[in-house]
Structure 1
Amino acid sequence: MSPSEPSNTPRVPKRIAAVLINSLKGGVVPRIGLPYITVGRKTEIAALLHDLDLIADGGASFRFLVGRYGAGKSFLLQTIRTHAMGKGFVVADADLSPERRLQGNGGQGLATYRELIRNLSTKTRPEGGALQLVLDRWVANIEKAPDATAALEAQMAPVEEMVHGFDFARIMRIYYTAAGGDDERRSAVLRWLRGEYRTKTEARQDLGVSVCICDDNWYDYLKLFARFLKGAGYEGMLVLIDELVNLYKIPNSITRQYNYEKILTMYNDTLQGKAHYLGIIMGGTPQSIEDRRRGVYSYEALRSRLSEGRFAREGLSDMLAPVIHLNPLTYEELLVLIEKLADIHAGYFGYERRLGTEDLVRFLEIEFGRVGADTHLTPREVIRDFIELLDILCQNPEMVMEELLGSDQFATATSGGASGEAEQPGQRSFAEFKI
Structure 2
Amino acid sequence: MTVRARERDALLKALRAGVVPLIGQRHIQAGRTAELAVLTGDIERVVVGGSAVRLVIGEHGAGKTFLLHLARSVALDKRLVTLHADITADYRLHSEEGQARALYTELARSMATRARPTGGALAAVVERFLSTVLDEARQAGTDPGEAIRERLAHLEARPGGHDFAEVVGAYWRGHDTGDEHLKSAALRWLRAEYPTAAEARSALGVRSIIGDSTVLDHLALMSRFVRLAGYAGVFVFLDELVNLFRLASPQARDANYEQILSIVIGGVPHLGFVFGGTPEFLMDGHSGLFSHVPLRRRLGARAFAEPGLMDHAGPVNNGGPVLRLAALTAEELYVALAKIRFVYASGEDGRYLVDDDALVAFMHHCFGRVGEWYYRMPRATFKAFCDLLAVLEQDSGASWRRLLPGVDLSAEEEDDRPV
In the superposition, the TM-score normalised over structure 2's length comes to 0.88
- State the AA in 2 paired with 1:105: E
The 2-side partners of 1:347 and 1:203 are apart by: 49
- State the AA in 1 paired with 2:167: I
Deviation track 1:54-101 (CA, whole Å, cap 9, x = no partner) reads: 112222111111001111111011111111111111111011111111
Tell me the equivalent position of 1:301. 294
Shift of 1:296: 1.2
Alignment of 1:172 with 2:168, yes or no, is yes
Tell me the equivalent position of 2:343. 344
Say whether the 8 Å CA contact 2:28–2:340 is kept in structure 1.
Answer: yes
Tell me the equivalent position of 2:398. 399
Deviation track 1:351-393 (CA, whole Å, cap 9, x = no partner) reads: 8324222221121122123354347741011101111221222
- State the AA in 2 paired with 1:219: L
- State the AA in 1 paired with 2:9: A
* Aligned partner (choices 180, 190, 195) of residue 192 of structure 2: 195
Instruction: Give runs of aligned pairs for residues 23-422 of structure 1, distance below 5 A.
Output: 23-145=14-136, 146=140, 147=142, 148=144, 151-181=147-177, 182-270=179-267, 275-310=268-303, 314=309, 315-347=314-346, 352-374=351-373, 377-407=376-406, 409=408
The farther-off stretch of 338-347 and 251-260 is: 338-347
Say whether the 8 Å CA contact 1:155–1:228 is kept in structure 2.
Answer: no
Tell me the equivalent position of 1:429. none
- Secondary structure at the aligned position of 1:305 is classed as helix
Do the aligned partners of residues 54 and 11 (structure 1) sit closer, same or farther apart at CA in structure 2, a change above 3 Å counting? closer
The 2-side partners of 1:60 and 1:368 are apart by: 42
Deviation track 1:294-343 (CA, whole Å, cap 9, x = no partner) reads: 11112111112113455997455343421100122221121111111112
Which ranges in structure 2 are unaligned for 5 or more consecutive residues? 411-419
The 2-side partners of 1:409 and 1:137 are apart by: 50
Shift of 1:135: 0.3
Q: CA RMSD in A?
A: 2.4
The 1-side partners of 2:182 and 2:163 are apart by: 16
Shift of 1:350: 11
Say whether the 8 Å CA contact 2:58–2:279 is kept in structure 1.
Answer: yes
Do the aligned partners of residues 250 and 128 (structure 1) sit closer, same or farther apart at CA in structure 2, a change above 3 Å counting? same
- State the AA in 2 paired with 1:339: A
- State the AA in 2 paired with 1:22: K
Do the aligned partners of residues 372 and 168 (structure 1) sit closer, same or farther apart at CA in structure 2, a change above 3 Å counting? same
Shift of 1:286: 0.7
Identical-pair percentage: 36
Say whether the 8 Å CA contact 2:76–2:117 is kept in structure 1.
Answer: yes
The 2-side partners of 1:410 and 1:48 are apart by: 31
Q: Which of the two has greater helix per residue?
A: 2
- State the AA in 1 paired with 2:161: G
In the superposition, the TM-score normalised over structure 1's length comes to 0.85
Bigger radius of gyration among the two: 1
Say whether the 8 Å CA contact 2:367–2:374 is kept in structure 1.
Answer: no
- State the AA in 1 paired with 2:278: T
Do the aligned partners of residues 202 and 11 (structure 1) sit closer, same or farther apart at CA in structure 2, a change above 3 Å counting? same
The 2-side partners of 1:119 and 1:409 are apart by: 35
The 1-side partners of 2:406 and 2:14 are apart by: 26
The 1-side partners of 2:276 and 2:342 are apart by: 30
Say whether the 8 Å CA contact 2:57–2:277 is kept in structure 1.
Answer: yes
Say whether the 8 Å CA contact 2:370–2:409 is kept in structure 1.
Answer: no
**Number of residue pairs matched by the alignment:** 398
- Secondary structure at the aligned position of 1:216 is classed as helix
